Amino acid sequence: MEKEGLSRALQYLHDNSLTIGMLITDRHKQINKFMSQSYPDIEHQYDVWHVAKGLKKKLQKAAKYTDCMVVGEWTKSITNHMYWCTASSPDGDEKVKRWKSLMDHLCNDHSNCYGDHTDLENRHKKWLIPGSKACEKVSDLITNKQLLADVRKLSSHHQTSSFESYHSVVNHFAPKLLAFSYVGIYCRLLIAVMHFNENFERPQAVTKSRREKMKFYFSKAKQGECTPKIVPVPPTYRYASELMEKAIYFITHPDERPPLPEEPPSLTSQYEHPDKDLIPLFSRYKK
C-alpha cells in the first residue's frame, strides 16, 4: 500500500507539471527499490528518526545478553551520535566517516574522534573493552553494511515529523478501527487536511504572567524518561463554519453541486480471480 500510494502521488505531481528534487521517507525496502528504478533523478533520503529507532531496538536487545549490560548504558549516546552525524555534515561520505569513528570513542580511544571531549572525565559510563562480547556486538551493529548505506542517505535538513503529525490528525477524523466508503474516507481526508493546515505550527501558549507553557511527558518507550514539550495555543475550527455555509448553499442550489469523485478500482482487481465453482469441494472445507 505504501509503494502504491507513493507511485500514485508522484504520478499526480508529474501530471500537474511539478518537479520533485528530493524525497524523504522511512527505510521501506520496496520504496527504496522503486525510487532507484523508476525515479533515479529524484534524490531519495531517509528520515533519521526511523533509522535511529531501529538501531535503538537492536542495541536494547543486545544489552540483554550476558556480559553485555554495558551496551544499555551507551544506547542513548549512540543514537544521539547518529543525529549529530546527520546534522553536522550534508555529505554522505562524511556522515559515514563520523559514524564509524564512534567505535573508537566507545573504547576510550579519542585520537580519531570528532568534536570536543574535554568533559569525558565527568562521565560515569563504563568504556567498552576491545575484544569483549559487548564490544563485538556493538561493532557488528555499527559497522553493518546496510546501516552504513542508510547513514549515507540520512537527511540533514528535512524530516518527516510534520507528516507524522498529519497522520495523527487523519487518525482522529478517520480511525483505522472503522471502515468507510471511498467517498466517506475521501471527505474525511479533506477535513483532516483543512484542520492540519489551519492549525499547523501554532504558537506556544503563555500563562497570565506571560510565561511560556511547557508540559512534561513520561513515555513508556523511554522507560519513564522525562521529555519536555511546548504547549501550543488551542486549535481553531474556522474551516467548519465555511463548510457549513457551503453545505447549505449546495442544498439550496442542487444544480451547482459538484460531482462526487469516481471510485478507483481496487488493488486486487488487477489480478485474475479463480472461479469458485471450479474449486474442489474438499478444499473449501479443509481445516
- Of 54-63, 203-212, 245-254, 262-271, the poorest mean pLDDT is in 262-271
Q: Is the pLDDT of residue 281 over 80?
A: no
Does the pLDDT at position 25 exceed 80?
A: yes
Strand pairing category for 226-230 and 214-218 = antiparallel
Q: Does 218 map to a domain?
A: no
Looking at residue 267, its pLDDT comes to: 77
**Residue 70 and residue 35 in one domain:** no
Rounded to two decimals, what is the model's pTM? 0.77
- What's residue 90's pLDDT? 84
Kindly give the residue spans of alpha helices, DSSP state H, lying in the chain. 2-15, 29-38, 48-62, 69-88, 92-100, 102-106, 133-142, 145-152, 161-173, 182-199, 238-252, 281-284
Confidence of residue 161 (pLDDT cuts 50, 70, 90): confident
Q: What is the pLDDT of residues 80-136, one digit of tens each?
A: 999 999 998 888 899 999 999 888 888 888 776 665 554 444 467 888 888 899 999
Q: Please give the pLDDT value at position 34.
A: 93
What mean pLDDT is reported for the chain?
Answer: 87
Q: What is the pLDDT of residue 118?
A: 47
What tens digit of pLDDT does each residue of 37-65 get? Answer: 999 999 999 999 999 999 999 999 999 98
Mean per-residue pLDDT, 211-227: 80
Angstrom distance (rounded) from CA 21 to CA 147: 24
- 53 part of a folded domain: yes
Report which of residues 216 and 121 the model is more confident about.
216
Picking from 105, 139, 159, the residue at the C-terminal end of a domain is 159
Range of the domain at 92: 48-159
Position 109 scores a pLDDT of 80
DSSP H helical ranges for 16-68: 29-38, 48-62
Residue 19 and residue 84 in one domain: no
- The last residue of a domain, from among 143, 159, 175: 159
Q: For 164-200, give one letter per residue: b (16+ CB within 10 A) or e.
A: eebeebbeebbeeeeeeeeeeeebbeebbebbbeebe
Mean pLDDT of 170-179: 93
Percent of the chain clearing pLDDT 90 (strictly above) = 54
Whether 4 and 74 map to the same domain: the answer is no
Structural domain count of the chain: 2
Domain match, 108 and 21 both? no
Please name the amino acid found at residue 186: Y
Would 33 be classed as within a structural domain? yes
Q: Which long-range contacts (CB under 8 A, 24 or more apart) does 69-77 make?
A: 69/134, 70/125, 70/126, 70/128, 70/134, 71/134, 71/137, 71/138, 73/125, 73/126, 74/106, 74/125, 74/128, 74/138, 77/125
Do 33 and 52 share a domain, yes or no? no
Structure confidence at residue 117 (pLDDT): 52
Residue 267 resides in a domain: no
Q: Quick check: helix, strand or coil at residue 208?
A: coil
The grid coordinates of residue 283 equal: 478444499
User: pLDDT band at 286, cuts 50/70/90?
Assistant: low
pLDDT for 184 equals 92
Asked whether the predicted pLDDT for residue 211 surpasses 60, the reply is yes
The verdict on 109 and 139 lying in the same domain is: yes
Report yes or no on 42 lying in a domain. Answer: yes
Q: Which of 77-81, 117-121, 154-158, 161-165 has the lowest mean pLDDT?
A: 117-121
Query: Cα separation of 48 and 83, whole Å?
Result: 7
123 within a domain of the structure (yes/no) = yes
Q: How confident is the model at residue 139 (pLDDT cuts 50, 70, 90)?
A: very high
